Structure 1
């Protein structure tokens, strides 16, 4: 068994937000916009893609 020490790839946390954005970019490249701080989701494009299939914050989930 390999011992995991500081700096080992197994000791690093995943950046789940960026990982999810990368996955969305593969499926829907038009959804992603990038600026100096990195990739971001364009909510207006997301709304166009999903139409009325969005749950409003006031509705039960």
Structure 2
């Protein structure tokens, strides 16, 4: 097999592997921040909600 043929097979395998991999789910606090920003809440409100979730999560 020629070098070009080998390279095309490797590219195909790598491409297929990338398509099979699922993206990592976002962390809870990142999801919370995204929702808060979509609702156009203030920065201080975002920080307050994040701190509240951190305290609630660590004390559970």
Same fold (TM over 0.5): no
**TM-score scaled by length of structure 2:** 0.31
Name which one, 1 or 2, has greater alpha-carbon Rg. Answer: 2
Q: Answer 1 or 2: which has greater helix percent.
A: 2
Q: Answer 1 or 2: which has greater strand percent.
A: 1
**TM-score scaled by length of structure 1:** 0.31
